[in-house]
Amino acid sequence: MNILECDHVYKIFGRDKKQVVQKLKDGVDPKSIKGATVAVNDVSFDVKEGEIFVVMGLSGSGKSTLLRTLNALGPATAGTVKIKGTDITKLKPAELRKVRQQSMSMVFQHFALLPHRTVLENAAYPLEIAGVSKEEREAKARHELQVAGLEGREDSYPSQLSGGMQQRVGLARALCAEGDILLMDEAFSALDPLIRRDMQELLLEIQARSKRTIIFITHDLNEAMLLGNRIAVMRNGQIVQVGTAEEILTNPANEYVAKFVQDVDRSRVITASSIMRRPVMRIYLNDGPRVVLRKLEETDLQGGWVTASGDRRLHGYVEGDEIADALSKNPNLDTIRDLVHYSHPGISADTPLSEIILPSASKPIPVPVVSKDGRLEGIIGRVALLRALGEGSGNEVTPVSTGSIPKVGESSSPTQEGAGASASSSASEGLQNATVAGGRSSAREGVAPASDTSSAAPETKAGRGSDPAAGSTVQEGDAE
């Protein structure tokens, strides 16, 4: 549900504003217009209830001016701005003030605190204006100051506080107003980096708890990527792209956006959901070891992830060489249950790539991506991970360049990456056990594939069919 809708909004400073808007609609270059400044030029977007919508751009791009059209502190020259379906550009002054009091609050870059009032009085000020009793408004203000981390500072004055503390007062004041929409105009840009990070984390905590809609203005790309559910990139008074951080980073709309994001740490923005793949094949917990080896062999895999019967709940993983070794010692082995490693919890779909690197390096098979209830959703191989990290950096990863990367505890040796593949996530009809998701391996030079079935022992369970040799091996290699 959209809580705010901005449709073809213009903001012109100078003379003949309406004529300037018409010229812009007719396609006249804004730079050729004399006697007026085009601050916002035909901007349209919507904001969903409960999201953090970040407007990002360089100084002079029009982002702060745009924000002021949203609460009519700087009324739009043309276009409509709807708050909960009400077009505020058509409201009378008294009606507009009521909408501001009930639906919107604002945090400014330079704090805008009343110097002669205490911290408590500053925080309670919106409620005082609204006619709330002193007892009630002070109780509310004390609560919001506690949320903002200022408990014990209620009787201090702004001059006695650091910049970070003053901005916390501004945030508490905005929270006291209880508006559904919080407008923040470069609220943290005047703060030191460490304090800014603390305030960013505080804002995320508050938003997670209160579910308020936040429209946040910034020129800091990293701040936008950290805070925004969606980001609008502005240039010369226009929005050039709207999308999630991942969408903007991986699919920039034009060269300007691409240059804007080229130095972003991709590993902290892109998440597992963007690069995970469906498991290339399925193996069941109750499968015989020869069936498992055959499936690994047919798909050129070295191991896989075990999930529970029928519901894809992750149990652990198995490795082909361990299964082959167990069969060579016990040809009558008919289950892989004792060969499953049950120690890996998996990662969530929103895990950033920076937190996947170590798990990927520590196991010879892909990293599993699981849902909140432990169901296997997908897998991430090393090549997919390295390719995602390399894109946009000028160091694109290819199968050739990753083939020589050794695994943890393994000496470097030439390898050739197998091609990626995908398969349906549903189990084949009639199979009643659990599944294993495997990762693609790479064969080492001079080592024959584990496909020789000359010494294969028959499977003891009916309907299993022929299997690879009990003594065959599955070579380790980088997993895709």
Q: Are residues 214 and 235 in the same domain?
A: yes
Could you give the angle at the alpha carbon of 16 between the alpha carbons of 12 and 20, nearest 5°? Answer: 55
pLDDT at 422: 34
Residue type, 372: K
Q: Does residue 241 fall inside a structural domain?
A: yes
Residue 379 has which token pair? Answer: 């897998």
Q: Are residues 247 and 277 in the same domain?
A: no
Q: What is the pLDDT along the chain (480 residues), one digit of tens a residue?
A: 899 999 999 999 999 999 999 999 999 999 999 999 999 999 999 999 999 999 999 999 999 999 999 999 999 999 999 999 999 999 999 999 889 888 998 888 888 899 999 999 999 999 998 889 999 999 999 999 999 889 999 999 999 999 889 989 999 999 898 789 999 999 888 888 888 888 899 899 988 888 899 999 999 888 998 899 999 999 999 999 999 998 998 899 999 999 888 888 788 888 888 889 887 777 777 778 998 898 888 888 888 887 776 777 788 888 899 999 999 999 999 888 889 887 667 888 888 888 888 888 877 778 889 888 888 888 888 888 888 887 755 444 444 333 333 333 333 333 323 333 333 333 233 222 334 455 443 333 232 333 333 333 333 333 333 333 333 333 333 333
Q: Are residues 253 and 342 in the same domain?
A: no
Question: Which residues, listed in sequence order, are joined to residue 213 by a DSSP beta bridge?
Answer: 181
Q: How far is it, in rounded angstroms, from Cα 190 to Cα 179?
A: 24
pLDDT at 392: 55
The last residue of a domain, from among 196, 229, 264: 264
The last residue of a domain, from among 264, 291, 326: 264
Q: Are residues 250 and 279 in the same domain?
A: no
Q: Are residues 237 and 332 in the same domain?
A: no
Q: Are residues 399 and 289 in the same domain?
A: yes
Q: Does residue 121 fall inside a structural domain?
A: no
- Chain centroid to CA 148: how far? 25
Q: Does residue 388 fall inside a structural domain?
A: yes
Q: Are residues 287 and 436 in the same domain?
A: yes
Q: Are residues 238 and 280 in the same domain?
A: no
DSSP 101-164: HHHEEEE-TT----TTS-HHHHHHHHHHHTT--HHHHHHHHHHHHHHTT-TT-TT--GGGS-HH
Q: Are residues 236 and 317 in the same domain?
A: no
Query: Whole-model pTM?
Result: 0.68
pLDDT at 386: 86
Q: Does residue 162 fall inside a structural domain?
A: no
The last residue of a domain, from among 264, 291, 307: 264
Domain of residue 432, CATH code: 3.10.580.10
Q: What is the number of alpha carbons within 13 Å of residue 228 lying toward its C-beta?
A: 30
Q: Are residues 231 and 364 in the same domain?
A: no
Task: Please provide the size of the chain in residues.
Answer: 480
Q: Does residue 95 fall inside a structural domain?
A: yes
Show the domain range for 48: 2-114+180-264
Element (H, E) at 122: helix 119-129
Q: Are residues 370 and 260 in the same domain?
A: no
Domain of residue 62, CATH code: 3.40.50.300
